[in-house]
Every structure is written in C-alpha cells, then in structure tokens.
Amino acid sequence: MMSENNQINHMKEYKVINESNFSKIEEKLLRELRSELVDLAISSGDDFNLNEKAFFQDIKNFLDLKLPLNSIETNNGDNLNYVSDESISKRNIYINNLSNKFFQEITGYGSLDPLIKDDDLEEIMVIGVNKPVFVYHRNLGMMETNLRFKKEEDILTLIDTIARQINRRIDQESPILDCRLLDGSRVNATISPISADGPSLTIRKFKKDPLTIVDLIKLKTMTIELGAFFWLCIDGLGVKPANIIISGGTSSGKTTTLNSLANFINPRERIISIEDTLELQINHKHLLRMETRPKNIEHKGELTMDDLVKNALRQRPDRIIVGEVRGQEAIILFTALNTGHSGFGTLHANSSRETITRLINHPMNVPKIMISAIDLIIMENRIYRSDGVSIRRITEVSEVVGIEEDNIQLNKIFNWNPKTDEIKNIGITSKTLRDISETRGISMQEIEKEISDRKILLNYLLKNNLRSNNTIGEIFQRYYHNKDEVLDEIKFN
C-alpha cells in the first residue's frame, strides 16, 4: 500500500494511497452524518459518550432514511453501488457495508488510518493546514507524507473524534489535549489560539509488537554480554534480586528496556506494576497491574502513585515496578526497597549523577541514606545519526556503592564508546555481582560461569531469531526450571 523513496530535497517520502474512495453522493452523506453527530454531542453536554453498537445502528437508520429505494445511476461515477431491480437484500448489503465504512471514518482516524495501522511508524505529526503530514519511521527517520489537510475543519474534526473516543474535549477554553488513546498511543493536540498556524496533532504510537531483549541486542541497544549480566543481577540467583533505575531523556527507550528486562524475572515472583497510564507490556504470569485515577468532577476519588505504591506493599509483592518515578511516591518506593522488596522504575534524567540529584531533591525528596538501595542505574540515550535516523543505546551502567562524606558514590561499570559504538565493561568488579556471590555463598568464578551460560542461551535466541515475548518467556522459564536440559538442547541445535 505504501512505498518509500528518496526525494531530491533529501526528505524521504512516505506515500499513502487512500483506500476509502467514496463516491460524491457517499461523501455528501458522510458530511451530513457528521454534522448530525456534532449536534448530538452538543445537545448531550459533558456526558457525551459513544455507545458503539447504538451508533452503528444510528448510521444504518440514517442511511436507510436517506438512500432511495431505487438506485440512482449516473455516468460520472456518482452512482450508488446497488441496483434496484435486483433484490432488496442488495440494498441492505450496501447499507451495511457503507455503515461499516462510515463507522470507521467517524470513529477511526480518517485519512490518518493507514499511518496509525503501520507499526513501523513511531510518530505521526500534523502541523497545520495545507502542509504535509510528517511521520517518523523506525528505520528511515523523518519522512514527509503525501497527505495534506486542505481545510482546518478536517483537522479539527479528527482531533474532535480522538477526544471523543476517550471522553475528552478540546475547545477554546482548554485548547490543549494531552492524552492516551485506547490502544496506548499518546496524543497531543493543540488548536488556536495556542497553535499559531492552525490546529496541530502529534501522535506517539504504541508499538503493538513490543521490542524484546533479542530485538534490543539486534538493534545494538545492548550486547549479549550486557544482557546476560542484567539477567543475573535481576534474578540475583534467587537470593538478591537487583533494584534497577532505568534513566534517560524523553523517548530514549526507557520503558521499552524496562519491559524487556522484566522478561528475566523468575516466573515464581509476584510482580505489582504501578503506572499513571497503562503503558508497560510486561510478559509475566503473576502480574498485578495498577493504574492511578484522576479526581472526578467533584475533585474527589483521586488515587495517586503514592497511594498505589502504599497499597502495593500490603499486597505482598516480590517486585514492584513503577512505570515512571517522578513524585513523592519515590519515598515509599525506596522504603520498600530498603525493607527487602525489590523494584524497577524509569526516571527522566540525563546522567546517573543527575538521576541521584533528582531523586534526593524536590519533589521526590528521597533521603540520601535510602539511595543505596539502588543497585544499578542504566542510562539510555537516543542518538541521532547524520542521516537523521536515530539509534538508542545503553550508554552507561553504574552502581551505587555507598555514601562517603555525605556524597553518594557511584561506580561506572559499563561504558559506551561513541567512536566504536560499543558498550564495554570498564574492568571494575561489579558490587552487585559480589553481593550475590556473598549472599549465595559461591565464588565469583561460579558467577562468571553462570553469566557465560546465559550468554550462550541469549546467543542461541539471537542466532535463531527467537524473538517473541512468549517464546523467550517460555525458554527462560525452562532455564529456571532445568538449566542443564536447556543448555544440552542448545548444544545439539
């Protein structure tokens, strides 16, 4: 349906062939239907909420009323696609099909639909009237599409449709819409007077098929060595599972890395995840997902991250995963980490030092003494190459080793070299591994042996392109259950 080719202006082009070619009569009907819908929304005030089944029936009734019993046939392509002298059922089939298409048009994303459906796109950007719609392609970077909105009204209708889907509104009074679609994609829309050149719309798409640890290694975000190291730290050989903060800038891939690392968690564990808006895609049998709730119109009923972390502690979790650590919930999270629970979280910061600074200052205010509960800080970065395509790299792994003279001591153990595009162990022995070896009562050689076994397994997954969440999950589960059997099998494959 789409093709990509290089243009002279150096901007790659993304071509969309619009499939919904309505006839002129159909287009007119759709416009009429739309305006009726707007009336309905206005008359029902704040409670307007689409009942899909009833709405579909409404469309059918509308078409039944509007369409002549006998077909209109004209020569200029404006004809309706049913023929009168055949049976009445032909008309019914036509109405049903058209209702479906209209339903899609109105509740879907109209001309943006093909873009929304393409899992290779990371972002869709509408920047105004009569300007190309831009997309950010996962492999090709920024691209210009052949789509343009010719009328301001069309962009507004689209933004309105999106807002309505999640029961929100955008208008002069609140000209910014910042929300998440039902499929998990993030949307930010603005209308005048906020956006000078007409309405804007930015959709950060949710990847339906999430990237797994195997993908991340293939993409060079991390290496097999790093993957095996993380795996051992995360399960801690059952005695000392590591606490990890994944840190980085906006859209650097923190949440994706968190998801993929969660695959390493022993299936025996009970995980509780806590998020502002559900976004994590963790593949684990025993997972309890919690989401915060905003206050209602009477300013009541709010449940914050803080409330949910507190509550999670009463639910006897082995591991608490906080989607994004940013507020006062951090203190309770760190209290939990300091009292024998283990946890993961992402945090917005540009270096491991800044991660600490943000944690100990307002609004998180975590007491310094509690910071040592963190075992690893993983820094991730989005780096733009000269061709405009971005890559994501884990650029640093640091350990919190203690406090000296009121300063929190960090040890960098892995570092990324931008020249060689490689992340390597710096040569310092990991405190996390040493802790595991001591708690478990085994030597560092044995720890190294375990890491190298896990490397063999990761290498096998990579070589055979066993990348899906389910496959990986199953193999890891078997590894936990009977490691030797799995390794033997691999040898013969």
Ligand X SMILES: Nc1ncnc2c1ncn2[C@@H]1O[C@H](COP(=O)(O)OP(=O)(O)OP(=O)(O)O)[C@@H](O)[C@H]1O
Closest CB 205 distance from ligand X, rounded Å: 6
Amino acid in position 416: W
Q: Can residue 254 be called a binding residue for ligand X (CB under 6 A)?
A: yes
**Torsion angle in degrees (nearest 10) through CA of 205, 209, 213, 218:** -80
* Residue among 108, 128, 227, 253 that touches ligand X (CB under 6 A): 253
Nearest to residue 267, comparing CAs of 284, 288, 244, 282? 284
Rounded CA separation 404/400 (Å):
11
Stretch that binds ligand X, among 31-39, 170-178, 211-219, 407-415 (CB under 6 A): 211-219
Residue 217 contacts residue 462 (beta carbons within 8 Å) = yes
Closest CB 226 distance from Mg ion, rounded Å: 20
Q: Which two tokens stand for residue 4?
A: 């990509």
Rounded CA separation 58/106 (Å):
13
Stretch that binds ligand X, among 104-112, 243-251, 350-358, 413-421 (CB under 6 A): 243-251
Q: Can residue 216 be called a binding residue for ligand X (CB under 6 A)?
A: yes
Q: Can residue 255 be called a binding residue for Mg ion (CB under 5 A)?
A: yes
Closest residue to ligand X, Cβ-based?
253
| E strand or H helix that includes residue 407 | strand 407-417
Q: Can residue 247 be called a binding residue for Mg ion (CB under 5 A)?
A: no
Smaller CB separation from Mg ion, 254 or 467: 254
Q: Can residue 256 be called a binding residue for Mg ion (CB under 5 A)?
A: no
Residue 41 contact, options ligand X, Mg ion, none, Cβ 5-8 Å cut-off depending on partner type: none
Residue 358 contacts residue 414 (beta carbons within 8 Å) = no
Contacts of 15 (CB under 8 A, 6+ apart): 2, 3, 4, 5, 145, 146
Number of neighbours of residue 393 by Cβ within 10 angstroms:
22
* Residue among 164, 240, 392, 455 that touches ligand X (CB under 6 A): 392
Which residues inside 281-320 make contact with ligand X, applying CB under 6 A? none
Residue 341 contact, options ligand X, Mg ion, none, Cβ 5-8 Å cut-off depending on partner type: none
Q: Can residue 122 be called a binding residue for ligand X (CB under 6 A)?
A: yes
Which residues are registered as beta bridge partners of 142?
A: 136
Residues in the interface with Mg ion (CB under 5 A) total: 2
DSSP-derived secondary structure letter, 75? S
CA distances from 199 to 112, 133, 176 (A): 15, 12, 10
Residue 399 contacts residue 432 (beta carbons within 8 Å) = yes
Smaller CB separation from Mg ion, 254 or 393: 254
Binding mask 398-427 vs ligand X (x if CB under 6 A, - otherwise)? ------------------------------
* Residue among 99, 185, 212, 255 that touches ligand X (CB under 6 A): 255
Residues in contact with Mg ion by CB under 5 A are 254-255
Residues in contact with ligand X by CB under 6 A are 122, 207, 211, 216, 219, 221, 248, 250-256, 346, 392
